[in-house]
Amino acid sequence: MYYNWKENTNTEELKIVCNLIKNGEIIIFPTETVYGIGANAFDEKAVGKIFMAKGRPSDNPLIVHVANKKTIHEIAKSITPIEQKLIDNFMPGPFTLILNKTDKIPDIVSAGLDTVAIRMPDNVIARGIITFSGVPIAAPSANISGKPSGTTVEDIRKELEGKVSAIVDGGETKIGLESTVVKVIDEVPCILRPGKVTAEDIEKVIGVVDFGNGIFMPVKEEERVETPGVKHKHYAPDTPAQILYSEDEQYLVFQMNHAIKAYKGDVVVLGFEEHKDKIVVSQDRFISLGSKQNLDEIARNIYASLRKADAVGAQMILIEGTPKEGIGMAIMNRLLRSCGYNYVEF
């Protein structure tokens, strides 16, 4: 079933969607980050349907979405003062915190770990579904495992329709990148996956921040991870992709044009709007990520742009990189994963 809630939420349809969750079905729904594919987090069998629909590896934990802070204390235990401070400052919002889980959360949700990833979305539709379902919702991004995440229903409907019981369309998502994932280790917040909530944001609240191993380099296959998005293939188009980056803007454009010649023009470029007339590809093979001055815009456009580029069927996708600071850290994290760490810095 498809429900269009772009303009407003239909109360009768909301009841139907919430009953599907209560009855062990899975649905696609919007959040402020990306679309999620969700099920009752307490229902092991229902959660198993998510892994089946996505083709998701079982060692990749899910994020549990809640509607209020009271639920966090029901599904997590031994919350420290620093963890509570992070909850109070960044929830609701594009922020996920790894906490010690209670027995209410099945092992399938946490990939057998003693911890659980918890988030409170800042999206009216998502919060409404969670609230009126009466249960937290376990949900990864709505896409076939390994493919770019969905920021609109149009991006993901074809690959997932028929595998879920309902699709709720809330229009384009506001942020376009998955949430920041943090675990507090020895009283220091450690960013395991960067997102809209930046290291600088966390430093303002706590005073110090650290970073996990898997942000700009691959995680070893045998390593167990507590957060999604740092292990296995992620965000990747079928077409091979490469990121080019230089602090010198003129030199970056020069190197992009040099690479285009090397591939005899059979490329698609994901580039900055300001470089549209400087990079020598046909107009239909230049996909604008947005202005290089507006990293929030670029973040919103990444996944849809990768999907558009893939549809061209070129030999290579060439992508202009961004500085690894602020939300640029999250942008580069996703782009590096999408191109299998095929990255050249000049």
DSSP 165-206: SEEEE--S-SS-SPPEEEEEETTEEEEEE--SS-HHHHHHHH
Structure confidence at residue 216 (pLDDT):
85
Q: Is the pLDDT of residue 245 over 90?
A: yes
Strands (E), the chain: 2-4, 27-29, 36-40, 63-65, 76-77, 95-101, 115-119, 137-138, 166-169, 180-185, 188-193, 210-211, 241-245, 267-272, 286-290, 316-320, 343-345
Structure confidence at residue 213 (pLDDT):
84
Looking only at Cα atoms, what is the longest distance across the chain? 59
pLDDT in tens, 21-33: 999 999 999 999 9
Structure confidence at residue 217 (pLDDT):
79
Share of the chain above pLDDT 90, in %: 89
Taking each helix axis as running N to C, give the angle between helix 328-338 and helix 295-312, from 0 to 180 degrees, rounded to the nearest 10.
10
For residue 37, the SS3 value is: strand
**What average pLDDT score do residues 53-72 get?**
93
Architecture in CATH for domain 241-345: 3-Layer(aba) Sandwich (3.40)
Q: Is the pLDDT of residue 93 over 90?
A: yes
Residue 59 banded pLDDT, cuts 50, 70, 90: confident
Asked if the peptide bond before residue 194 counts as cis, ω within 30 degrees of 0, the response is no
Q: Is the CB of residue 130 less than 8 Å from the CB of residue 66?
A: yes
- Computed on alpha carbons and rounded to an integer, the radius of gyration of the chain in Å comes to 20
pLDDT in tens, 187-233: 999 999 999 999 999 999 999 999 998 888 776 665 667 776 665 56
Structure confidence at residue 137 (pLDDT):
98
**Vertex 24 angle, CA 19 and 25, to 5°:** 75
Structure confidence at residue 233 (pLDDT):
63
Structure confidence at residue 228 (pLDDT):
67
Share of the chain above pLDDT 70, in %: 96
Q: Is the pLDDT of residue 129 over 60?
A: yes
**What average pLDDT score do residues 119-134 get?**
97
Identify the CA nearest to 157 among candidates 171, 145, 143. 143
- In this chain, the answer to whether the domains covering 2-211 and 241-345 adopt an identical fold is no
**What average pLDDT score do residues 161-165 get?**
94
Residue 8 banded pLDDT, cuts 50, 70, 90: very high
**Domain layout of the chain by residue ranges:** 2-211, 241-345
**What average pLDDT score do residues 33-58 get?**
95
Tokens at residue 345, please?
């810095």
Burial (CB < 10 A; 0-12, 13-18, 19+), residue 178, is buried
Please name the amino acid found at residue 276.
K
Q: Which CATH superfamily is domain 2-211 in?
A: DHBP synthase (3.90.870.10)
Q: Is the CB of residue 213 less than 8 Å from the CB of residue 219?
A: yes
